[in-house]
Amino acid sequence: MTQKINYGNESNTLKVGGLFAGIGGIELGFKKAGFEISWANEIDKNAAITYRKNHKHKLFEKDLKDLKTNEVDTIDILTGGFPCQAFSVAGYRKGFKDDRGNVFFEILRFVDDIEPKVIFLENVKNLQGHDEGRTFNIILDELQKRGYHVDYKVLNSSEYANVPQNRERIYIVGFKDEKAFEKFTFPKPKRLTKKIEDLIDDIAEEKFYYNNSKYYTQLKEEMKNTDTVYQWRRKYVRENKSKLCPTLTANMGTGGHNVPLVIDKKDIRKLTPRECARFQGYDENFILCDTIAPSHLYKQIGNSVTVPVIEAIAKEIKRALS
C-alpha cells in the first residue's frame, strides 16, 4: 500500500519518523529543532526501554523487516542511523554482504511507499570509502533514482556540537524539492568551550573504580593528568593528548577495558554511563534506567549519536523547507 505525503500539513509542524532509533538521539535532536516526532522503530528490547522512558510517541519494537509501511503514520522526514557495524573497521567492513548492511534496502521500502520530503541518514565515516566507494555510490544512486537531491558531509562532534568527543560521522540529507535542496547547507562549526573535566563527576559509585584491578599498579604509574581521558590497550595505557574523549562505541558494552578511563577526585575509574551520555550531548534530564545493566547502557550510548550535531543539521533542514 502506497501512502502519499499530505503537503497541506494543517499544523505546519513537520513530522518525523525514525528507523533504527536506538535510544532516540536523532529523534531528540529533531525535536529540539522544532519538529514533531510521529513514530519510531527499534528492535533492541533494552534500547526500547530507554527510548520509552524519554519519548511519548509511538515506538514499534520489532525487526524493521516485519514493520509494514501501512502501519505507520504519514511523515515529512524519514530518519535513520542505520547499523554501522557492517561498514566499520570493527565490523570488518563486510558492507552489503552483511545482513546489517542490507537493511539499507529496507529503508528504501519506506522511501518508496511513504515518499518523504526529506531523508536523513547517519553512519560511520568509513561508509564513504567502503569497498572503494562502491557501497556509498549505490546508496547515493538509489536515492537519486527516487528523485532525491542529495548532499552529505563528515562532521566531527568536537567541531560542531561543543562536545569534547572525537566522533566523526557521515550525514546524508536528501530533498525531494530541488529549491529546498539548494537552500540547504550543513551547519557551521562551533567553538569548543567545554572541557573533559566539565563532564566528569568528582566521584562515582565504587563499581567504576580500578583499585582492585590487576592493572591498577600500571595504570597508577602511567595515568597522571586529570584533564584528559585514557584508554587501556591490552598492554599499555594510551593518553588522549588532544584533550578529547575518544569515539564512544557499542564495544563499551562488551566488558573488558573498552570504556575510557579518567582520574577523578578519588582515584582511577572508567567513565560512568551518565558521563558517556554527556559526551554525546544528552541533557541531565535524559533518563538512564537503573534497572538496565551498565553494559547495556554503555552499548546504547555508544550506538547513539551526538544530539547537538543532529539538532544543528535539523535546524538547517527546517530552514531549507521554510
Active-site entry in 84, 245, 276, 289: 84
Q: How many CB atoms lie within 10 A of CB 195?
A: 13
d(CA 220, CA 223): 6
Packed helices 134-145 and 104-114: angle between N→C axes, nearest 10 degrees: 10
Burial class (CB in 10 A: 0-12, 13-18, 19+), 27: buried
d(CA 61, CA 48): 7
What are the grid coordinates assigned to 133, written together?
A: 566507494
Which residue's C-alpha cell is 541531565? 284
- In the chain, what is the greatest distance between 2 CA atoms, to the nearest angstrom? 66
By three-state DSSP, how is residue 141 classified? helix
Segments in the chain forming alpha helices (H): 25-32, 45-54, 99-102, 104-114, 134-145, 157-160, 178-183, 216-222, 273-279, 294-303, 307-321
By three-state DSSP, how is residue 118 classified? strand
What is the length of the chain?
322
d(CA 310, CA 175): 17
d(CA 23, CA 304): 7
Task: Give the closest residue to 317 by CA, choosing from 56, 29, 55.
Answer: 29
Single-letter code of the amino acid located at 67: L
Q: Is 276 a catalytic residue?
A: no
Single-letter code of the amino acid located at 57: H
The residues carrying an active-site annotation are 84
